[in-house]
């Protein structure tokens, strides 16, 4: 399995032979603090691994790659809001294993069984 980085599309890609088997899409927040300077934080927009290749550490590799890239750029926080389905809950361990901490939970207004969670990891030291 090979990992590559496309800076233009802001995607980290996982390949097996020539087939793409997973990707991580990221972006930079555009808030008031970044208007006149370089971004200080990075957001994981989505992580996806082809069904046939799940539970073999591919998403973990994609996440550790984006963490390394962000650290090299001197960024401070890496954050993500999860999808809303409750069946995703078990997979959230993926982020905890990579050192992310759950910082917030936002319930759905109409369906109390679904919620989206904010996970964050501090990159500039071991304090999270």
Ligand X SMILES: CC(C)(COP(=O)(O)OP(=O)(O)OC[C@H]1O[C@@H](n2cnc3c(N)ncnc32)[C@H](O)[C@@H]1OP(=O)(O)O)[C@@H](O)C(=O)NCCC(=O)NCCS
> How many CA atoms does the CB half-sphere of 47 hold within 13 Å?
22
Give the distance, in angstroms, between the CA of residue 73 and the centroid of all CA atoms in the same chain. Answer: 16
Residues 60-79 that bind ligand X (CB under 6 A): 60
The yes or no reply on residue 116 touching ligand X (CB under 6 A) is: no
Closest C-alpha to 26, from 50, 45, 12, 48: 45
State how beta strands 11-16 and 2-6 pair.
antiparallel
Q: Closer to ligand X by CB, 39 or 83: give it.
A: 83
Site stretch for ligand X (CB under 6 A), options 46-54, 66-74, 105-113, 120-128: 46-54
Q: Which of 12, 42, 58, 67 binds ligand X (CB under 6 A)?
A: 58
Count residues binding ligand X (CB under 6 A): 18
| Both tokens assigned to 108 | 């759905």
The yes or no reply on residue 56 touching ligand X (CB under 6 A) is: yes
CA separation (Å) from 47 to 14, 30, 71, 82? Answer: 11, 21, 19, 10
| Both tokens assigned to 43 | 């957001």
The yes or no reply on residue 4 touching ligand X (CB under 6 A) is: no
Binding mask 83-102 for ligand X (x = CB under 6 A): x----x-xx-xx--x-----
Residue nearest to ligand X (CB): 59
- For ligand X, the binding residues (CB under 6 A) are 47-49, 54-60, 82-83, 88, 90-91, 93-94, 97
């Amino acid at each position: 399995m090979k990992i590559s980085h496309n800076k233009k599309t802001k995607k980290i890609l996982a390949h097996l032979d020539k087939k793409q088997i997973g990707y991580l899409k990221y972006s930079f927040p555009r808030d008031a603090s970044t208007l006149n300077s370089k971004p200080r934080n990075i957001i994981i927009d989505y992580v996806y691994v082809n069904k046939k290749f799940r539970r073999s550490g591919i998403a973990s590799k994609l996440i550790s790659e984006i963490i390394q890239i962000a650290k090299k750029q001197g960024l401070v926080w890496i954050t993500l809001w999860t999808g809303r389905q409750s069946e995703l809950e078990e997979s959230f361990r993926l982020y905890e294993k990579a050192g992310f901490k759950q910082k917030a939970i936002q319930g759905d207004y109409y369906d109390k069984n679904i919620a989206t969670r904010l996970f964050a990891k501090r990159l500039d030291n071991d304090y999270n």
